[in-house]
Amino acid sequence: MSHEPPISLWPDPRALGPVTDLYELTMMVGYLASGMAGKLATFELFVRKMPANRAYLVFAGLEQAIGDLLRLAFSPEQIAAIRGWPAFRHVPREAMDALAAMRFEGDVWAIPEGTVVFPGETLLRVTAPLAQAQWVETYLVASLAYPTLVASKAARIVSVAGGRSLQEFGARRGHGPHTGFLAARAAYIAGFDGTSQAEAARLLGIPASGTMAHSWVQAFPNEDSAFAAFAQTFGGAATLLVDTYDTLEGVRRAAAIEPPIPAIRIDSGDLDDLTRRARAILEENHRSGVKIMVSGDLDEHRIAALVEAGAPVDGFGVGTELITSRDAPALGMVYKLVELDGQGKYKLSPAKRTYPMAKQVFRQRDASGRFAGDHVTRADEIADGEPLLVPIVRGGKLVEPLPRLEAIRARCREQLAALPARLRPLDARPDYPITYSDRLEADASRLMSPRERDQAGN
Amino acid sequence: MSHEPPISLWPDPRALGPVTDLYELTMMVGYLASGMAGKLATFELFVRKMPANRAYLVFAGLEQAIGDLLRLAFSPEQIAAIRGWPAFRHVPREAMDALAAMRFEGDVWAIPEGTVVFPGETLLRVTAPLAQAQWVETYLVASLAYPTLVASKAARIVSVAGGRSLQEFGARRGHGPHTGFLAARAAYIAGFDGTSQAEAARLLGIPASGTMAHSWVQAFPNEDSAFAAFAQTFGGAATLLVDTYDTLEGVRRAAAIEPPIPAIRIDSGDLDDLTRRARAILEENHRSGVKIMVSGDLDEHRIAALVEAGAPVDGFGVGTELITSRDAPALGMVYKLVELDGQGKYKLSPAKRTYPMAKQVFRQRDASGRFAGDHVTRADEIADGEPLLVPIVRGGKLVEPLPRLEAIRARCREQLAALPARLRPLDARPDYPITYSDRLEADASRLMSPRERDQAGN
């Protein structure tokens, strides 16, 4: 009997260098072999198109992305393996040696996390030697698109929850066990109050939220003994799950416990009806202080309906719909070369106009402080409004410590409060105005071929 | 100027103990404090309901899930933090000490990876002291549901690709950077030929696939010099991306390179038309050996259409649709208590009948070797057909080394070949027959209340 340990698919955070598409590595080596690796390049990250059912996005995930970027490196074992792959067999040794020694030493500008953003505007800009700037493409997109999806979905839920407590309950429904960390943080930024994922709560310093599963109730001879044992162990922190057998019977049993428990949770059934009946039972039993939490396939539409109907719900636990951003599980986030050696770079996209050169985004507000429109300029232009991109990394080092999570959350709250009213409804159309400066328009036109200019209608 | 390193959200693989829902930890401590932690419990993992657009599932992810299970532990810092949380303040010290020392020492039976499976049948069964068995719920579901989604989506793609090469290209579109590892492996099991994610390829020993991005072409003064530089560095391994400017011009340039390159890639446009014209250009230029690879928002329907139309495509790169399982991004996988201290446990689910007691699944085949139906029994029953659940872990140790990836992939190939013909079409209805033994039916009925028996129609 052998006990070989199975493979671990957790990457070493000190050797994330090849956690990227192979073609980034081939291009890096190609640039090294062609003497182009050191040319100064600027790439920009942006979202091409609004996903379904969204009128705005909340940018999130930057702290992790930057943290990993600053540690990015290859281990000797990784380099040895890459050298052995067919594509790399004829690559000059000096190029492979340079790859092995590569670190990220460039500059990064980005829009701060928690900011409301829109397709077509630069969210993050990397200026670095070409090989380094190319290296980070896959990793940055993989690290930023998903938290942005979750924060954007969470913001919709927050917008209809009427100030009730919101808990991220999705850990088991994420795309692998790592997802829970990114989702818990993104949801918290957008206004959720806590997460069920214990280690995410610990690492992030956010409230961990949890009750009990049906299996707890089933493990005891009856519901009364299950509730009593839980209340005895956890005292004033015990939230009891009341719907294992008969929900209203469960509520009556929970209401009888001395001293009173703080909350009950209902995970199934007609939540509008059951929470009203549960509230009545709690009142009859002098338990007006007991809160009612609900969960079970909730999304922004079901939560909005419960809140509008006035169901006596104190808190919502949201799992699958949030952690998978189920109605829009992918974001068309891209990272494109816009400048090389001071020259604008440009590729006509059939779906959407794009612009060369390093850029800045200015956000303009109306008299009431609401967002009125964003104006995209070259990075060296100045326009009215708040410049959204700020320097984050210079020469491979943080410019200053990144904002703390509570500050990011506060920024997001202010940002969501400043959304134009027409973008707030769950079915709002994505019609926020983005304009481009005359210099950008001229730069783009200059780089177009005559045929492209025809296609673009210029 | 300070350079505080940003937070890392990569968990320590040696301390995954709290990478779970808080309520698993509260229940563990509750069982410890109530003297119930050592009762022998059996939990079973299964899928409640087939996701949209699927007629069968491919079970995957087991090796990682088991590997992490065998290493599951808490670090002293984690325990110290948990002790400080409000819910744990009144927990007896002995219970917290027992939590700190917890390891998984139970038994696991499971259906081997690469097996075709269906909702309503036990995929994995844990028998362990109650606290340990409860602990692993969130982690097992988070680790198994996602690879199963990707393998199931990949199998659909494989089923229509007509034997053409398939590459998993989704790394940047996954839900966080960890997703690429799980997806690359799951897709390979289901019949994909390689992945673009370099580190996943290295760790798993599967082919890494990659070409170049548009940025490579843009970084050179013109397409000719870009192609020449790439071909020079990578020789016979250079696949050239030909659609940065004018696709057919790009094909002509690629066809002119000496010595001939192995392949071109087209990432945009009308792929049916462009591949035919590209193939004609290659033939005219005596480049019949050059393969044509295509990519760009491909899914099983677009691939089926290209294959049916006879487009001269040699390989497909599939990204977003596969790695997010976009049309079905969540799987209703659950982990339920079925037995405690030898007593059956059972909870009536409004949507679906469930059964108490540890179970086995027997797969029956027809005369031609195709799957005819699955029969679920108690674990101590014997029925016709192949018993699908096999022992994986006994007393916290592997029973024997897990199958190697190539063996899992071969199993999956055989499984998919044995699917009933009616389940193969992309729009097939999920109507595979699952039956339950008389003893299971009797066990379930015995545990039902009279009202439940009415509801269940018994």
Q: Are residues A11 and B43, on separate chains, in Cβ contact within 8 Å?
A: no
Q: Confidence class of residue B458 from pLDDT cuts 50, 70 and 90? A: very low
Inside any domain, residue A4: no
Residues B192 and B299 placed together within one structural domain of the fold: yes
Mean residue pLDDT of chain B comes to 94
pLDDT of residue B454: 58
Residues A367 and A438 placed together within one structural domain of the fold: yes
Mutation for testing the B interface, residue in A77, A172, A216, A222 having most B CBs under 10 Å:
A172
pLDDT digits (tens, 9 = 90+) for B1-53: 344 568 889 999 999 999 999 999 999 999 999 999 999 999 999 999 999 99
Mutation for testing the B interface, residue in A178, A249, A394 having most B CBs under 10 Å:
A178
* Positive or negative torsion for Cα B187, B56, B113, B180: positive
Nearest to A222 by CA among A198, A187, A246: A246
Q: Confidence class of residue B446 from pLDDT cuts 50, 70 and 90? A: confident
Residues A337 and A317 placed together within one structural domain of the fold: no
* Positive or negative torsion for Cα A326, A328, A331, A332: positive
Q: Are residues A337 and B218, on separate chains, in Cβ contact within 8 Å?
A: yes
What the block records as the tokens of B440 is 């299971």
Distance from the Cα of A440 to chain B's closest Cα (Å) equals 18
Residues A411 and A344 placed together within one structural domain of the fold: yes
User: What's the average model confidence in pLDDT over B84-95?
Assistant: 91
Which has more pLDDT, B168 or A445? Answer: B168
ipTM more than 0.85?
yes
Q: Residues of chain A whose pLDDT is less than 70?
A: 1-5, 348-353, 449-458
Residues sharing a CB contact under 8 Å with residue A39, sequence separation 6 or more, in sequence order: A31, A129, A130, A340, A341, B219
* CA angle at B162 for the pair B159 and B166, rounded to the nearest 5°: 80
pLDDT digits (tens, 9 = 90+) for B330-382: 999 999 999 999 999 987 655 556 899 999 999 999 999 999 999 999 999 99
* Domain count along chain A: 2
User: Between the CA of residue B178 and those of A176, A442, B184, B192, B208, what are the distances in Å?
Assistant: 8, 41, 11, 19, 17
Residues B305 and B335 placed together within one structural domain of the fold: no
Residues A207 and A268 placed together within one structural domain of the fold: yes
Nearest to B125 by CA among B356, B447, B439: B356
Residues A161 and A199 placed together within one structural domain of the fold: yes
Helix orientation angle between A300-309 and A271-284, rounded to the nearest 10 degrees? 50
Nearest to B166 by CA among B306, B331, B328, B370: B306
Strand segments (E) across A331-437:
333-340, 343-344, 359-365, 371-378, 386-387, 390-394, 397-398, 434-436
pLDDT of residue A63: 97
pLDDT digits (tens, 9 = 90+) for B213-228: 999 999 999 999 999 9
Percent of chain B residues topping a pLDDT of 70: 95
Distance from the Cα of B43 to chain A's closest Cα (Å) equals 9
**Looking at the predicted structure, is the pLDDT value of residue B281 above 60?**
yes
Residues A273 and A334 placed together within one structural domain of the fold: no
Residues A187 and A306 placed together within one structural domain of the fold: yes
SS3 A127: strand
Residues sharing a CB contact under 8 Å with residue B442, sequence separation 6 or more, in sequence order: none
DSSP type of residue A51: P
Mutation for testing the A interface, residue in B12, B19, B21, B49 having most A CBs under 10 Å:
B21
Residues B220 and B361 placed together within one structural domain of the fold: no
Residues A312 and A336 placed together within one structural domain of the fold: no
User: Which residues in chain B are contacts of A333 at CB distance < 8 A?
Assistant: 172
* CATH of residue B427: 3.20.140.10
**Last-in-domain residue among B296, B323, B350:** B323
Inside any domain, residue A39: yes
pLDDT digits (tens, 9 = 90+) for B372-414: 999 999 999 999 999 999 999 999 999 999 999 999 999 999 9
The answer to whether B42 touches B339, Cβ cutoff 8 Å, is yes
The answer to whether A299 touches A262, Cβ cutoff 8 Å, is no
* CATH of residue A316: 3.20.20.70
Paired residues of B340 in beta bridges: B41, B343
Residue A432 identity: Y
Which residue from A9, A233, A340 is facing B29, i.e. has the nearest CB? A233
Residues A135 and A261 placed together within one structural domain of the fold: no
What b/e readout covers A190-229, taking b as 16+ CB neighbours within 10 angstroms?
A: bbbbbbbbbbbbbbbebbbbbbbbbbbbbbbeebeebbbb
The H-or-E segment that residue A107 falls in is strand A107-110
Report H helices in B34-92. Answer: 62-71, 76-84
Domain that holds residue B131: 22-149+328-455
Q: In the β-sheet with B434-436, what is the strand arrangement from edge to edge?
A: B386-387, B359-365, B371-378, B434-436
Inside any domain, residue B2: no
**Last-in-domain residue among A257, A292, A323:** A323
Q: Are residues A23 and B212, on separate chains, in Cβ contact within 8 Å?
A: yes
